[in-house]
Amino acid sequence: MRARDLAQEFPTVDLGDDALVAARTMAESGRPGLVVLDEKGRACTVLPGSQVLRLAVPVYVQSDPHLARVYDEKAADELFGKLSGRTVRDLLPDPHDHAELPVVDPDATSIEVAAVLARMRSPLAVVSDGDRVLGVITVSRLLRALLPAADPASEGEPGGPVSNGEPELR
Amino acid sequence: MRARDLAQEFPTVDLGDDALVAARTMAESGRPGLVVLDEKGRACTVLPGSQVLRLAVPVYVQSDPHLARVYDEKAADELFGKLSGRTVRDLLPDPHDHAELPVVDPDATSIEVAAVLARMRSPLAVVSDGDRVLGVITVSRLLRALLPAADPASEGEPGGPVSNGEPELR
């Protein structure tokens, strides 16, 4: 199976988009991050959700989260309201480095995608033909494609020893 | 809003569970990681999906993903089949350090949870009362709770400038 067959849609934002819009997109998508596109529409980096929080939450509160208890809900509105007027570019941690983005080409094999994710310790790879983003491949999608068929006899009682919570996006 | 109200179910595995079972749980959950419980059922760390791939994919293929093209699907079965017989403990990168786990108590406020995620650059926090894991809070769940109500007038045309792919778990 090739990367093009595994790619799933994923929310994207542009470098120039409003930071508050990016935060809302993340909130609504149920995803832990967004793919950021540069001026030419090419994937340039992934914006992790925690980075949005780093811009909104004052540094002294990050250092001592118990201080956060002084904030009521109205104060929270103000913290996150201040994202508006900033851009996605402002949210990025460092000058983004394309070389650090886990990108695979559409013809990459599933093992090749696994190798890229393993090496970069990334939860997802961007599938791109250079100019256009086709989608992303998450670790869990990849594992579904790669894992050998289950052999119930070798895994103990049905259901197994794991608590497998129903995935919930919203 | 308090952490206990924001907590969502999340798949867990025990340190002694078979690594292949953990990989399957991750594949089926659609999540990028699993909460790992110690012998007493307390959260001790989060196992990222990429770590499963690191154990399955040979190091020389991780270094040069193009080498992966020599693997056919049968070979992939063998790579991942070798997870069986190893445990979740074998998958963990380093002696896991509880102090590094983003844990919040059930009474933590939403801003407090935001501060913890921001400081630790984590996509999720584990809600625990010390002995028992109540669930996890993802960045996107938290942002839905924290973001001020949208004001469409200040955000351009409906839909906005972002491509907002339908979230897909499987």
Residues B46, B33: Cα–Cα separation, whole Å? 7
What is the pTM (predicted TM-score) of this model? Answer: 0.78
Tokens 């991942």: give the residue. B80
Model confidence over A36-70: pLDDT tens digits? 999 998 988 888 888 899 888 988 888 888 888 88
pLDDT at B131 over 70: yes
B53 and A29 within 8 Å at the Cβ level: the answer is: no
Torsion region of A121: left, alpha or beta (phi above 0 gives left; psi -120 to 50 gives alpha): left
The whole-chain average pLDDT of chain A stands at 82
Model confidence over B4-18: pLDDT tens digits? 999 999 999 999 999
Superfamily of domain B3-147: CBS-domain (3.10.580.10)
Output the CA–CA distances (angstroms, integers) from residue A40 to A9, A37, A48, A121, B163, in the order listed.
Answer: 19, 7, 21, 27, 15
Q: What's the CA angle centered on B101, arms B99 and B102, to 5 degrees?
A: 115
> In chain B, which residues have their Cβ closer than 8 Å to the Cβ of A13?
161-162
The whole-chain average pLDDT of chain B stands at 82
A164 and B29 within 8 Å at the Cβ level: the answer is: yes
Which pairing describes strands B103-104 and B12-14: parallel, antiparallel, or unpaired?
Answer: unpaired
Residues A139, A6: Cα–Cα separation, whole Å? 11
Handedness of CA A29, A35, A38, A39 (dihedral sign): negative
Q: How close A162 comes to chain B (CA, Å)?
A: 5
> In chain B, which residues have their Cβ closer than 8 Å to the Cβ of A158?
none
Average confidence (pLDDT) over A14-28: 93
Which residue in A25, A31, A36, A50 has the most chain B C-beta atoms within 10 A of its own C-beta, making it the best mutation to test that interface? A50
Average confidence (pLDDT) over B29-57: 89
Complex ipTM, two decimals? 0.78
Contact B87, B56 (CB under 8 A): no
Q: How close A145 comes to chain B (CA, Å)?
A: 9
A61 and B111 within 8 Å at the Cβ level: the answer is: yes
Beta bridge partners of B150: none
Give the pLDDT band of residue A148 (cuts 50, 70, 90): confident
Domain boundaries, chain B: 3-147
Strands of B7-89 (E only): list them.
12-14, 33-37, 43-48
Residues A28, A170: Cα–Cα separation, whole Å? 8
Handedness of CA A20, A22, A23, A29 (dihedral sign): positive
CA dihedral A41, A44, A47, A48 (to 10 degrees): 130
Residues B79, A160: Cα–Cα separation, whole Å? 22
A143 and B26 within 8 Å at the Cβ level: the answer is: yes
